[in-house]
Amino acid sequence: MAFSGSPAEVAHGIVDANRYMVLATADNAGTPWSSPVYFAHRGYREFLWVSSPQATHSRNIAVRPQVGIVVFDSSVAIGTGQGVYMSAVAAAVDAADAEDVLAVFSRRSVTHGGRVWTVEDIADAQGVSGLALYRAVADEHSMLAKDGQPDHRVPVRLTD
């Protein structure tokens, strides 16, 4: 799907139209790992997902919270794709914030044919239920420049 408008409008369109983001993490030794995860967002700055605390990316976040994120449409023709790239800090959502964050996650889940999530569906970082709710807060966003230079990223300001 092609998006047009200002860089912020294009970035909003990409984030809103796609259901999965690629989450890039690294362990304590710096060994990289990437995982696609279904996500919801709040204000294009907070990105939310549910995962097992035992998943590699979750264990990596526990020891190294700095992550990279990209949201992109992989179905477009070669050379026409665009993505939103982010650096962020991630962590499991604590119990005090879980209900509020789950409401945001559930709204998007339901629009995509999923279900409403409750506090009983997830656990805290100890993973009692086998699932935990995670949040990454992006500190910068960028997109590829359309100037013909390969992998030339430019900052884009996203606000809700």
Number of domains making up the chain = 1
Please name which of 7, 158, 120, 130 lies closest in space to residue 58, comparing C-alpha atoms.
130
Q: For every residue of 52-113, which 3-state class applies, written as one string?
A: CCCCHHHHHHHHCCEEEEEEECCCCCCCCCCEEEEEEEEEECCHHHHHHHHHHHHHHHHHCC
Phi, psi dihedrals of residue 64, rounded to the nearest 5°: -145, 95
- The predicted-structure confidence for 146-157, as pLDDT tens digits, reads as follows 766 667 788 898
Is there a domain that residue 44 lies in? yes
**Which CATH number is 90's domain given?**
2.30.110.10
The DSSP bridge pattern shows strands 66-72 and 46-51 to be unpaired
For the chain, give the percent of residues with pLDDT over 90.
66
Alpha-carbon gap, residue 82 to 76, rounded angstroms: 9
Is there a domain that residue 11 lies in? yes
Is there a domain that residue 106 lies in? yes
Is there a domain that residue 157 lies in? no
pLDDT of residue 8: 87
Full residue range of the structural domain in which residue 64 is found: 7-144
Is there a domain that residue 2 lies in? no
